[in-house]
Structure 1
Amino acid sequence: MPKTITQNLPSYLDSENPGPWAIFLEQVDRVAPYLGDLGKWLDTLKHPERSLIVDVPVRLDDGSIAHFEGYRVQHSLNRGPGKGGVRYHQDVTLSEVMALSAWMSVKTAVVGLPFGGAKGGIRVDPRKYSAGEVERITRRYTNEISSIIGVNKDIPGPDVNTNAQTMAWMMDTYSMHAGTTQPGIVTGKPIPLGGSLGRVEATGRGVFIVGVAAAKDAGINLTGARVSIQGFGNVGGTAARLFSEVGAKIVAVQDHTGTIADPNGLDVEALLTHVKQTGGVGGAANTTAIAADEFWAIETDILIPAALEGQITKHNADTVQARIIVEGANGPTTPEADDIMTAKGIVIVPDVLANAGGVTVSYFEWVQNSSSFYWTVEEINERLEKIMLDAYHALTATAAEHEVSLRTAAFITACTRILETRELRGLYP
C-alpha cells in the first residue's frame, strides 16, 4: 500500500519540495553504512505497517454537511504500541503524517521508550469552526480510526492545533464504544481525567534540557546567551521561559502572526501574556517587527525552530547565524540544509531527541494510567531530565565514535534498536 501511495504523490518527485516522507527516506539511507548485518532489514523502515485514510463527515452548526480527510499511520509497532499525536491543520497530507509517524518510531527508540511510531491528522483549519463543530469532527474522526487504536495498540496524543480538550473528547468517544472508561487510550488529557502533571510543558522542557547540555559542550555561558525561537506555543513558549529564567536573552521570536526582535532581550512573561490574549506574537508592545526572512539571519547562540516541518531549507540555511540549533519542531530542517549548516560548524540537536520530552512524559502518563498510581510534578521532571540527558550523552558518544552529526548518530541508534527487534521477532507467518 505505501508503495502505491508514494507513486501517486508527485511531491515526492519534486526536487524543490520532495515532501516529508522523502526527507525521512533520505535520512534512513544515510545510516545504511552503519547498520552492518541489520542492513538487510532496512527496507522495513521504508514501509509503514499501516496507513489509514478516513472520511470525516460532520454536521455543521448551520445544518450543512462538511467532509474532512483524516489519517492515522502506524509506521512501526515492533518495539511496542504505536505512539504519536493528532494534528489539525489545513495543509496536512498523507506524506506528512507518514513522515511524522516514522520520526516517532525513531524518537521513541532514541530515548529508549517501549513504543513504536504512529501519527494522525485531519486536513482542517480548526480556527474556522466553532468549538461544537471541532468536537464533532474529533468524535467522528475517533470513531473512524477506533478499529486500529487501543491502550496496547496505538495511543494518540495532542499535536499541532489539538490539546487536552481534544484528547478528552477522543477518550470519551473511545470509552463509549468500549463500554468502560479507558484513560490510557490517549495521553495529554486533562488532569481530572488521568492526565499527567508536567505534560503540557514537557516538550519545551525537553528542548531546554538538551539545549543547556549542548550549550555546555559548546562552551556557551547561558547568562546573557542569545536565543531565537520560531513558534511560540507550548513548545517555544515554555523553552523561552526556561531559558530566560537561567539568564539567557530571547532576542527574536517568529510565529504565524509576525516576527519580532530585540537585541537586548524580549520580555518573555509579557510576550506569553500577549500570545495568550491575541493568539500570536504579532503586535506585541515594546517590540520591533522585522521581515520574516530576516529572522534566520539574526546572530544568535541558540536557534530553536519550534513551528512546523521544512522551515530551514537549502534556500535559507546559509543565512543562519547560530552556534547551536535545537529542533523543537518535527522535521524543521531538510537534508540539504542539514549539510550546509553542519559544514558551517553549527551543532544541530535533532528533533528526534530535542523534542522527545513530550512523548517521554506521555509514556509516564500511560504508565500511571495503567497502574492507577500518579506521580508528583517533581518526580515527573526529575525522570524526564534523566532520560533526556542519558539519551543526549549517548548520542554525543556515538557521534564522536563514528565522526558523524548528532542527527546521524540518532538514526544509527534508533534504526539499530528497531531493526534488532525486527530481527529477533522474525516474520509471521
Structure 2
Amino acid sequence: MQGNNHDDVRRHNLATILRVVHRSGPTSRSALTRLTGLNRSTISALVSELVLLGLAAERQPDATRQVGRPSPVVQANPRVVAIAVNPEIDAVTVGLVGLDGVVHRRIRCPVEHSPSATEAVNIATAVIDGMRGELALRFDVVGIGAAIPGLVRISDGVVRNAPHLRWTDEPFAERLSAATGWPVVAANDASLGVLAERYFGAGVGLTDVVYLNGGASGIGGGLLVGGSLVGGHAGYAGEFGHTRVSQSAARDSAGIAGTLEAEVTRSGLLAVLGLDNTADADDLERALLASDSPQVRAEVNRQLDFLAVALAGAINVLNPQIVVLGGFLAALRAADPDRLQQAVAALTLPEVLAGVRIDSARLGSNLLMIGAAELAFEGVLGDPQAFAAGSGA
C-alpha cells in the first residue's frame, strides 16, 4: 500500500488486519503475516495497537493442536457491537451484532399495520432504550445500521420510496439518530443482504454475486461485481422485483404490470398453504416441503418458472459466480430446486451459465441484522484509529 505518508500506510494496515479478523474470525499472527505480506514485527505492532484501541483481543491457541512455538490468535473484540434495525410492513426488528459476528439479540416487534417512518423510529427507539443498561455495562456501540425495504439515498439515509411501507422522502436515518443519540446509516435491505452473504454466507471468497431477497414488502436485490457492491448512480441498483417476466396485468408495488414482484409473491404461497402472515421464511419452507397438495404444487411451479425468467436475465447480463436467494425465495427454491435450475438453464446461454451456482442464503433470519450491522461497522473497519471505546450514547 502506497500512502501519502507513514500515518496513511499505518491506518491502511490497521484496517486490513481488523477486516481480516472481523470477516474471517480468530486468526493467528502467523496467518496474518501470510495473508497480508507484512513482516512479523509489523503485525505485532499493529495487533498491539488494535488491542489498545479496544477493537481486538489476543489469546493463546489450543496448545494440544500446535506443533512448535504457538502463534497468538487475534480476534475482533466481542464487546464492540452495532445495532441493526429493519422496519417491515408487519414488524420492526432490532438486533445487536458483535464485531466478532455474533448476533447477541434479535427482537421482532410485530405491528398491526404498516408502520409510518415515525412509528418505526419510535418502536426501534423503545427497544434500544430497553437495552441501554446492558449496553452501558457490556458493550461499546459504534452506531446503528438500518436495512430498509425500498429505495434509499445512501448519502444521507433518506428513504426516497418504500412503496409497501408507503414512505416517500422520509429522513429515517436522521430521525433515528436524533432519537437514539447514535449515528445511523441506512441502505436498501437486499443490498445489505448481498454484503452479509458475501462476507459470512454463501458468497464467501467470491467476487461476483447476485442476491435476491423476498420479503413481506416484495422482492429486491443486491449486486456484487468484481468484488465491489454496485449501487448505481444514486444507490438504487438491484431492483430485480420490477423486472418484467410476463404479459400479465398483475401489478407490483410500483404499479408496473407483469413483473417478478407481481407474479412471485409470499402472499400467494401463504394463501395456497392456508398460512397467515405470522409465518416466517422457515415456517413457509417447512410447509412447502410437507405439502402434497396439487394446488400448492401448481402455485410453486408457476412462481418458480417466473423466477427463472428473472434469474436467467440476470445471469445472461452479469455472468455471476453465484445467485443467492433469501427470504421466501429461498423457501420457494427449496420446494423444487431442480425445476428452478432446469428452467433457468432453458433461458440462459450455456457458456454463461457454466460454473454459475444457484443457492439459498446461509444466514437465515439473521441475514439482515448482520448486513445492517456491517453498514454501521464500516466506519470503524475503514479507520480503526477513529474508534473511541466507551464513547457510545
When normalised by structure 1's length, the TM-score is 0.34
Rg larger for: 2
Higher strand share: 2
When normalised by structure 2's length, the TM-score is 0.37
